[in-house]
Chain A
Amino acid sequence: METISTDVAIVGAGGAGLRAAIALAQADPALRIALVSKVYPMRSHTCAAEGGAAGVIKPDDSLERHFDDTVGGGDWLSDQDAVDYFVREAPKELIQLEHWGCPWSRAADGSVAVRPFGGMKKQRTWFAADKSGFHILHTLFQTSLQFASIQRFDEYYVTELLVADGRCAGLAAIEMRSGQMRRFDARAVIIAGGGAGRMFPFTTNGAIKTGDGMALAYRAGVPLKDMEFVQYHPTGLPSTGTLLTEACRGEGGVLLNRQGRRFLQDYGMGPETPLGRPVLKTMELGPRDRVSQAFWHEQKKGNALSTRWGDAMLLDMRHLGEKTINERLPLVRDMSISYMGVDPVTDPVPVRPVVHYMMGGIDTDIDAATSLPGLYAAGECACVSINGANRLGSNSLTELLVFGRRAALSALEFVGKNAARPLPASLAEDARGRIRELMQRTGGKETVAGLRKEMMQAMEEHAGIYRGGEGLAAACEKLGELRRRYRQIELHDKTNVYNTDLLQALELGSMLDCAEAVVQSAAARKESRGAHQRLDFPQRDDRNFLRHSLASYDAGGAPRIGYRDVVITRSPPGVRDYSGGHDE
C-alpha cells in the first residue's frame, strides 16, 4: 500500500483545518503537513456560514461581557476556563484574518464594522456582508497556498485512525479518484471534520456534513461529549432548509406569527422593541434555542402560518429598505427569491426552525487535545466546550480559528516531545480489508438510501426541538436496530473510480454512530437545558446535570454514557434573562 509519511496529518480542510495547517507551517517551516479532506478546501461547509464572527474590538465592549453572554447563552454548560481562553484569543484571530486580507465589512472611518447578533449584549460580530464564512474560508485557503510545506490530499476520504500502543499515529484513507487505499503515517493527527447535521432530514447543512470526523475519534475510543445538544436555527427557508442568517434580525428584521404578532414577547423575550430599532439581547435578538422553542409553542397553539412545506412563521425585513438589504444581506435576498419566490424587499419571507449546528462533538480539553495521545480536534466536530447547551450565533466561526490554531500548537508540542514510532503494517491492511469487505459484499438486504431515510425520520420525530422519554427510548431502539442492519448493506456500485455509492455508505456509517450518541445522551439527560428540552423534565436540574455527557463507543451495542463536571470559574449558574430589562 502506498504510504505517505508526514509529521502532522489534518483531517478536514475547512476553516479549522486550514487555520491549523497555516499555524503549523508558520511555527515550523520544516514540518511536513498533510491536509486530507474528502472535498476540495473551498467546498468545505465553512463557506455557508453567513452572519459573522464574534470578537471584542470596540471600546464600549469587554472580554467579560463576551464571556458572560457566551456562558449564559450556553445555559451554564460551557467550561468557563475554555470560554475565557476563547474570548481572549478571539480578537487576535479576527485581526490576524484581517492582516491576511479578509474582506471584512468596514465602518466609514476604515475600521472593521460590527453588527448585533442574538444573545450578545454588545455589537461584536465582525462580518463580510452575509458571506462571512465564505470569505473566511477563501482567505484561509488562498493564504495557505503560499506554504509549500502544506501538502494537500483533496478528495481523500479517511476511513479510520491508526492507533498503536495507545497513541494515534496515522490514518487510512481512500483516494477517491483511484479508489485506492492510502496509508498516512503521522506523528500527530488533528481532526477538523465539521458537524453532522445531515442526520436530520431538514437542515441548513451541506451534503458533506455527515459526522465523519466525530465518528473517527469515537471509534478510536475518544468519547463524544454533549451530543444531545443540537441547535435549531430559527430561520431556514421551509422549501429547502436554506439558512437565512441571524443578521436578518441583527439588522432589524422581525418575526411574526400568522396573526402578524411579534410573538417572541409572549415567551419571556419582550417587551416588544420598536420596529427597525433592534435592541440587543431581547426579542428577535434572543438566543437561537429560545426563539426556535417559541416557534414550537406557536405551532402548538395554531398560530403558525401553513405553507405547502409545512408550518412556518414570517421574517419581515421590508422596513429595512432595498439599499440596506442589498448592502448587508445580498445573499439572503438572492436565496429568498430563488428558492421561495419571495423578495424580502417587498414581502415577508416564510421561515421555520432548521437543524443547524452540533454543540456536542469530540471530547477535547482546553488545549484541543483528546484523551488519545497524539489526537487533537477543533471546529464543529469538537466539543471543547465553549458552546455549552446552546451556541450563540457568530461564536463558531471564531471558535474554529481560535481552536484550529490551538490544536496546531498542541500537536506541534506533542511532535516535539515524542519521536515517531513505526506503525505495524497490519493496521492499514486491516483498514483496507474492511473497505474491501463492504465493496465485495453480496446478498445484503439493505440499501444506503433506505437506512438513511429511516435514520432521518427517527431523528426528526424524536430528537427535535422538544423531546420526550418515550420517543427517545424508541429512537434509541431504532438507532440500535439501524446500526445492526447497516452490516447487511450491499453496494450497487462495486467499482473504484469516484464511487459515491461507497462514499455515501461510509458517511451513513458515521451518521448512524453519531445519531445513536445523540439519542442515547438525550435519553439519559433527564432535565431541560438550552437546546435540549424534555417535555417530561421541563426544568434545568443543576444538582444532577450540571455535567457534560460523555458517550463512549461500543462496536457491538449502545454507547456507555458517563459524565464529567462542568468547569465553573467565576459565573455560578443563574437565570437566563432575555426580557430586555437587563442593565444600562
Chain B
Amino acid sequence: MRQVELEVLRYHPETDREPHFQRYRVECQEEWVVLDALNHVKETLDPTLSYRWSCHMAVCGSCGMMVNGEPKLACKAFLRDYQGVIRVEPLRHFPVERDLVTVIDDFVAKLARVKPYLIPKDPPPEAGEYRQTPAQLKRYKQFTLCINCMLCYAACPEYGLIPQYLGPAAIALGHRWNRDSRDGGREARGEELAAKEGVWECSFVGACSEVCPEHVDPAGAIQQVKIESTVDWYQEHLMPWLKK
C-alpha cells in the first residue's frame, strides 16, 4: 500500500465560475494506475467527481487526461512511475464539459470529413473477399490502430493555436484508407487531407506520435500525405499528360 496525493481539476459549469484544484489523499495498491486511484476517490471519498472510463485495457479510448502535464490514458498511467503529488487535469485544447470530461465534438466532426470508409477501387468480388496480401495489409495496418483517445490533439501545439487544423488522428485515419489496396478514394479525401487546414498546418513537432498509446505514428502519416500531395501537385501542374 502507498499513500498517494492526487490534485484533480474540478470544474462544474452550474456552480463554478473558474476551475479549481481539489486534493485527495488515497491509499493505493502499488500496481494501480491513475484510473484505479480516481475510481477509489469516486467510490469512497467524493461521488461528485466526473470522468469517463470503461475498458481499463487501453482500447476504448475513454480515459484520456493530463497527468502531471502530459496526455495519458489514465488506465495506463502507472502510479509507480510518479512521485509526489499527481496532478490530473482534463485533456488540453478541448473545452471542459465538467471536471475531467471534455467536449470532443470537434474531432468527431473532423473524422467524418476525411471520409474514413472504403471508397472501393473495384467493385467487390462476386463471391468471397478481396485479396489482400500480408504485405499490402502492412502498408496501412498501423494507422488502423487509432483508438480516438485524443491524446495526440492534446499534445499538438498547432491544434492548440489553430483549432481548424484537422489534426493528427483524423489525418492518420484518412490516410489509413488511402493506403488500403482495396481503396480508390485518395482524390476524394485529398480535399480535406491536403488542404491548408489539413497536413500543411502541421509544423512537424512530432509530439502526437510521442504520446500515442497505440504507436500509430500520426506524424508519420502526416508526412506521407505531404509527400504524396506534393507529388500529385507536380504531376498535375508540370506533367499534366500523366494525369489519367
Contact = CB atoms under 8 A, between A and B. Distances in A.
B132 interface: yes
Contacts of B99: 498
B59 A142 contact: no
B117 A100 contact: yes
Contacts of A5: none
Nearest to B148: A42
Contacts of B183: 101
A495 B134 contact: no
Contacts of B31: 239, 339, 341
Interface stretch (A103-111, A246-254, A267-275): A103-111
A493 B115 contact: no
Interface in B49-96: 49-62, 76, 78
A449 B60 contact: no
Given A106-B132, A106-B137, A110-B132, A45 B55 contact: yes
Given A47-B59, A99-B118, A177 B54 contact: no
A331 B13 CA distance: 39
A39 B182 contact: no
A207 B44 contact: no
Interface stretch (A80-88, A131-139, A349-357): A131-139
Nearest to B11: A497
Interface string B219-232: 00000000000000
Contact of B116 (A135, A145, A207): A145
Interface string A20-45: 00000000000000000001101111
B111 A145 contact: yes
B118 A110 contact: no
B56 A242 contact: yes
A240 B43 contact: no
Interface string A327-351: 0000100110011010000000000
Contacts of A112: 129
A208 interface: yes
Contact of A497 (B78, B97, B133, B140): B97
B159 interface: no
A497 B14 CA distance: 8
A460 B112 CA distance: 43
Contacts, number: 149
B180 A101 contact: yes
B173 interface: yes
Contacts of A100: 117-118
Interface string A84-120: 0000000000010011110111111111100000000
Interface SS majority for chain B: loop
Contacts of B136: 110
A143 B118 contact: yes
A98 B14 CA distance: 47
Contact of A240 (B47, B56, B61, B112): B56
A339 B180 CA distance: 33
Contacts of A105: 134, 137
Interface SS majority for chain A: loop
B153 interface: no
Contacts of A48: 55, 57, 59-60
B44 A449 contact: yes
Given A146-B115, A242-B56, A498-B98, A98 B50 contact: no
B108 A111 contact: no
B112 A145 contact: yes
A43 B137 contact: no
Contacts of A339: 31
B205 interface: no
Nearest to B127: A95
Contact of B54 (A43, A111, A135, A142): A43
B101 interface: yes
B186 interface: no
A48 B31 CA distance: 22
A359 to B, nearest CB: 22
B117 A498 contact: no
A512 to B, nearest CB: 17
B235 interface: no
A108 B134 contact: yes
Given A45-B60, A134-B59, A103 B54 contact: no
Contacts of B145: 131
B15 interface: yes
B104 A40 contact: yes
A43 B62 contact: yes
Contacts of A110: 131-133, 136
A449 B134 contact: no
B133 A492 contact: no
Given A57-B128, A495-B12, 17 more contacts: A39-B52, A44-B60, A101-B177, A103-B137, A110-B136, A112-B129, A131-B59, A134-B147, A138-B144, A142-B116, A143-B118, A145-B112, A448-B47, A449-B47, A492-B46, A497-B12, A498-B97
Interface of B: 12-15, 31, 42-44, 46-62, 76, 78, 97-99, 101, 103-104, 108, 111-112, 115-118, 120, 124, 128-134, 136-137, 140-141, 144-145, 147-148, 173, 177, 180, 182-183
Interface of A: 39-40, 42-45, 47-48, 57, 95, 98-101, 103-112, 131, 134-135, 138, 142-143, 145-146, 154, 177, 206-208, 239-240, 242-243, 331, 334-335, 338-339, 341, 447-449, 491-493, 495-501, 504
25 contacts: A39-B52, A39-B62, A40-B108, A43-B62, A47-B60, A48-B60, A101-B182, A106-B132, A106-B137, A109-B133, A111-B129, A134-B59, A142-B117, A145-B116, A177-B97, A206-B60, A207-B54, A242-B57, A243-B57, A335-B57, A449-B44, A492-B48, A495-B14, A498-B99, A499-B50
